[in-house]
Amino acid sequence: MNLRGVRLAHLIETDGPGGAERMVASLAASLQAMGADNLLIVPANGEGWLAAELRGSGVRVEPFHLGRPVSPAFARWLTETLRRHRVALAHSHEFTMAVYGAWAARRAGVPHLFTMHGGRYYAGRVQRRLAMRAAVALSGAAVAVSQSVARNLSRDLWVRESRITTIPNGAGLVPVAHSSLRTELQLAPGDRLALAVGNLYPVKGHDSLLEALGLLASRFPALHVAIAGRGELEPLLRARAHALGVADRFHLLGLRSDVANLLAGADLFVLPSRSEGLPLALIEAMLAGKAIVASSVGEVGSVLNGGAGHAGLLVPPGDAAALAQALSQLLTDPSEVQRLAAAAARRAEDYTLTKMTERYVALYSSLASPLSCD
């Protein structure tokens, strides 16, 4: 399908450095490189991360103001924006923009689809479920990033699972030959480093990883843990690390854009989340060829171990003892580390940014064929 000159709109309510936002940035930039003309509709009072991430890519940014959850004025503005930019297809992400985008696109006569990335925050209130169900009815496609997210949507919204398309997230990672991370952390040559990537929110389970470090501290005095991310739990995690006596081996790196550099410096990758859809951090670790220990949540288990041969160790979410045991297994078995790393790299071939983009382009084409452009 030739995308040259085709105007595509991407709508999202948040613009911080989270998983959904990172996926939107990657997809928009990839489509732009294929010749499409991409418009990103983001909050005017947000962090500005998405606009900064896409600076120089050619993707245009249109800020919006949404003063309250239910706003007919915003719905009208969104309709006029799609018309003014002569958008050929609108792609919304997560609950709020799925609902507004579906309504505005129908009013503007534009094909629409939306992607849900993981959390079931929409399911707590009947009104939200009904709004999401209406968005499904008004949209050409409802997309889930994993089979587990698709099952939740089907059950929560009372729609057939066949009505939901699953397109796994994909990532692009340029390997780094020499990492600066170990020098940054002043690690000795014999130190072992386990890395996690994710914002410091309760759902990410970093407290379990810290507790696991405490359980392993005496047996593995050279083990360090580093977490790339920011968030509300930082002071609590630092205080707990001091209480466990591992503050000198527990490193909070803050928000980082050099994920490839961080992965290149790590011996192991850990995903201790309590809930996930299909996290980009996991895919990036696989692309980097890292041995992985992960919680068995969302699509993580099928991604790591759904093919021929296991590509990671799975533990129950929130179980620090099980996480410590899995880390211990790898710290004492270098050959298993190498085997899992190689298997993860092979599995990653199914979860590249190129494959994800191709799947979305095929879906776009089925919804608007031929797509119109100037």
* Burial of 192 per CB tally in 10 Å (0-12, 13-18, 19+): middle
Closest CA to 151 of 141, 163, 134, 140: 163
Q: Name the segment(s) of the chain with CATH classification 3.40.50.2000.
A: 7-170+352-367, 181-350
Walk across the sheet containing 141-144 and list its strands: 60-64, 37-43, 7-12, 89-93, 112-116, 141-144, 164-166
Confidence of residue 18 (pLDDT cuts 50, 70, 90): confident
Which CATH architecture is the domain 181-350 placed in?
A: 3-Layer(aba) Sandwich (3.40)
pLDDT digits (tens, 9 = 90+) for 118-158: 878 888 889 999 999 999 999 999 999 989 899 999 999 99
pLDDT digits (tens, 9 = 90+) for 95-112: 999 999 999 999 999 999
Average pLDDT over residues 324-336: 97
Q: What is the pLDDT of residue 39?
A: 98
In the chain, which ranges are E strands? 7-12, 37-43, 60-64, 89-93, 112-116, 141-144, 164-166, 192-197, 223-228, 250-254, 268-271, 291-295, 313-315
pLDDT digits (tens, 9 = 90+) for 26-80: 999 999 999 999 999 999 988 899 999 999 999 999 999 998 889 999 999 999 9
Output DSSP code: residue 293: E
CATH superfamily of this structure's domain 7-170+352-367: Glycogen Phosphorylase B; (3.40.50.2000)
pLDDT score of 178 more than 70:
yes
Please report, for residues 142, 143, 241, 247, 321, the alpha-carbon distance to residue 162 in angstroms, rounded to integers and kept in the order given. 10, 11, 47, 49, 39
Give CA torsion, residues 79, 356, 60, 98, to 10 deg: 20
Confidence of residue 370 (pLDDT cuts 50, 70, 90): low
Q: Work out whether strand 268-271 and strand 89-93 pair parallel, antiparallel, or are unpaired.
A: unpaired
Average pLDDT over residues 76-92: 97
The whole model's pTM is what? 0.87
**Which tokens hold the place of 54?**
């896409």
Task: Measure the CA–CA gap between 372 and 374, rounded to whole angstroms.
Answer: 7
